[in-house]
Amino acid sequence: MSSPASQSACAGIAGVILAGGRNSRFPVPKGHVRIDGVSILENILDTFRQRFKEILISTNNPTGFLHYGVPLVGDIIESRGPLSGIHSGLINSSSDVFVAAWDMPYINPALLDLVASSHKEACRCKRVDATVPMFDSKPQPLLAIYSRGAISLIEAAVKQDKTSIRKLLYDIQTNFIDEKMLKGIDPEGLSFVNINTVEDYERVFSLSAATLARRSG
C-alpha cells in the first residue's frame, strides 16, 4: 500500500522547515511555542509527514532538534537569513523543496497540494525557479517551492548580500499563484500567519473558533 506522501500532489518534492533566525523579538524559540497543546514545529512536522517522504530541518542550532528524528542541515555559506536556509535545503535535498517557516501555526495541508500542483504544471511548460503564493497582493516566500535549478541564482544572491527573498523572486523565473485560487482553500490566509513578536502570538490566540472552523472546513 502506498504511503500518504506518495499519493499527494507533493510527491517528488522535499519538505524543508526553516528553523533559523535570531529570534530577537520573541522571548523563546518560536517554533517550540505550544498552541492548543502542540508546538508549532510538531504541528508542521505532522503536516509534512503526510505530504513529503523527504523532510529536512534547516537550522544552525541543532541541539534543540535532535529528538525529532529529522535530518538537520546548517547554512553552507555564511548565514544571510531565510535565503541561506533555502539554499542549504536545496543543496542537501534530492529534489525541489517546499519550504515553510517554523513559526507558522496554521498551515493548511490542502494549500500545500495546490501549490505543488501549480508548480508541477508550470514546470511542464517552462523553466520555473520558484512557485510562490500571493496573498494580500504580496508574495508569500516562506511557504513556497524552490527548484534545484535555482541553486546557483540563490547562492549568488546570498554571496552578494542580496537577501530580500521578495526582490529575488522578481529577478528569477517565478510562478506566482493568484490569491483568488488560494482563497477557495484558505480565505483568511491563516496558512501565512507567522509569529515574530509577542503581539503576533497574542493575535494568533485571538483568532475566533469560527474562523478556524472555516479554515479547516
Strand partners, 100: 17, 143
88-129 pLDDT, tens digit per residue, is 999 999 999 999 999 998 999 999 999 999 999 999 999 999
Quick one: pLDDT at residue 78?
76
Residue type, 108: N
Tell me if 78 sits within 8 A of 38, measured CB to CB: no
Tell me if 119 sits within 8 A of 175, measured CB to CB: yes
Tell me if 39 sits within 8 A of 52, measured CB to CB: no
DSSP structural state of residue 149? G
Which residues lie closer than 8 Å to 140 by C-beta, 6 or more apart? 132, 133, 134, 192
Residue 163: band (very low, low, confident or very high) from pLDDT cuts 50, 70, 90: confident
Residue recorded with cell 535570531: 22
pTM of the model: 0.87
Task: Name the CATH topology of 4-216.
Answer: Spore Coat Polysaccharide Biosynthesis Protein SpsA; Chain A (3.90.550)
Residue type, 80: R
C-alpha cell at 119: 508548480
Which residues lie closer than 8 Å to 10 by C-beta, 6 or more apart? 51, 52, 98, 112, 113, 116
39-94 pLDDT, tens digit per residue, is 889 999 999 999 999 999 999 888 889 889 999 999 988 777 899 999 999 999 99
